[in-house]
Amino acid sequence: MIALGIGGAVVVGLMFLGAILFPVFAQARRSALGNRCLSNMRRLNSAVTEYAADNDGAFPVANRWMDDLSLKSVRPRQLRCPAVGGVWNRRYGYAFNSELSSKRASALEKDVPVIFDSTLVGRNATSGLETLPKPGRHFAGSRAVNHVLMTDGSVTSKPN
């Protein structure tokens, strides 16, 4: 039998405890990032609604949607998916549905995506849902999902 001494036993105990807790902390962090993303999407919904109210019910022009929504009390961090990175790295991770550019909200169905998690990370990114990250960026239980803001104001979690 090997004698570790008090110091060695403490180190082994801490390593054992770390091995147990590390996955728990990682899951908690993923959950927190997903919740912040949902919060961002809800704030973006409010900004889109304000923008439409000020512009005869029309959505922003797709290639400047972030610039336009920034004028509606959206903070810079709310334009970024927290799972993509921090405010200073110039990566955003959200895209605007290019088909909605300048269209009137009243003329659309309820289940049309407006803003969503995207593999495009530049400012004012536009695309269709083909740029949803695979696997999804967030987790709902054990499933990888992406967040999508719909025209009715709901935020859905789409599995990939």
Domain-located, residue 69: yes
Mean pLDDT of the 78-90 span: 81
Mean pLDDT of the 47-75 span: 94
Q: Which residue has the higher pLDDT, 15 or 70?
A: 70
Domain-located, residue 34: yes
Q: How many domains does the chain have?
A: 1
* Confidence check: pLDDT of 77 > 70: yes
* Confidence check: pLDDT of 79 > 80: yes
Range(s) of the domain holding residue 85: 8-159
pTM as predicted:
0.81
Average model confidence (pLDDT) for the chain?
84
> What is the full DSSP assignment across the chain?
----HHHHHHHHHHHHHHHHHHHHHHHHHHHHHHHHHHHHHHHHHHHHHHHHHHTTTBPPPGGGHHHHHHTTT--GGGGS-TTT--GGG----EEEEGGGTT-BGGGS-TT-EEEEE-S--STT-EE-GGGS-SS-SEEETTEEEEEEEETTS-EEEEE-
Domain-located, residue 39: yes
Domain-located, residue 3: no
